[in-house]
Amino acid sequence: MVAPSQPEGRNSATPQLSEAELERRKRELDAKLAARRQKADVSGEKAVGGMSGMGYALRLSSEFIAAIAVGAAIGWVIDYYAGSTPWGLIVFLLLGFAAAVLNVLRSAGQVAPSKVHGPGDRV
């Protein structure tokens, strides 16, 4: 592809040709670099994958549990003040479970986040 052993003298002798030649070489180099960078990016992501994957797992599990706990707590408080034991706990525990599933799906990217940005939104 690129001939690295071009004699120096030729370039200065024919500047017109060398312009085109240089342009061509630059494009080739760009393409090569782009390909290499892409490869590096992919491998870099893989290396980080283990660490961020673990963070992800911790995030998902804690979000799941937290939503259920909040649902149960709200239900329990409602029961405590309204005397509707055990209906508040039952209903809000189920709602909390729904919220937990929503949390997990949302942070896993399976459900659209609660807001979708317009194209010009992020600037």
Partner 1 sequence: MANDPIHQFHINRIVPIEIGGLDFSFTNSAAFMVATAALAGGFLYLATAKRAVVPSRSQSVAEMAYDFIRNMLTDAAGKGGMRFFPLVFSLFLFVLTANLIGMFPYFFTVTSQLIVTVALALLVIGTVVVYGFMAHGLGFLKLFVPSGVPGLLVPLIVLIEVISFLSRPISLSIRLFANMLAGHITLKVFAGFVTSMSALGAVGVAGALLPLLMVVAITALEFLVAFLQAYVFAVLTCMYLNDAVHPGGH
Using CB under 8 A as the binding rule, whether residue 46 contacts partner 1 is answered as no
Integer-rounded Cα radius of gyration of the chain? 30
Instruction: Name the residue among 69, 74, 67, 105 with its Cα closest to residue 91.
Output: 74
Instruction: Name the residue among 96, 38, 93, 39 with its Cα closest to residue 67.
Output: 96
Point out which span in 5-13, 17-25, 78-86, 99-107 binds partner 1 (CB under 8 A).
99-107
Q: How many CB atoms lie within 10 A of CB 57?
A: 10
Point out which span in 2-10, 14-22, 36-44, 63-71 binds partner 1 (CB under 8 A).
63-71
End-to-end CA distance of the chain: 40
Among 22, 33, 98, 108, binds partner 1 (CB under 8 A): 98
Residue numbers of the site for partner 1 (CB under 8 A)? 51-52, 54-55, 58-59, 62-63, 65-67, 69-71, 74, 92, 95-96, 98-100, 102-103, 106, 112, 114-118, 121-123
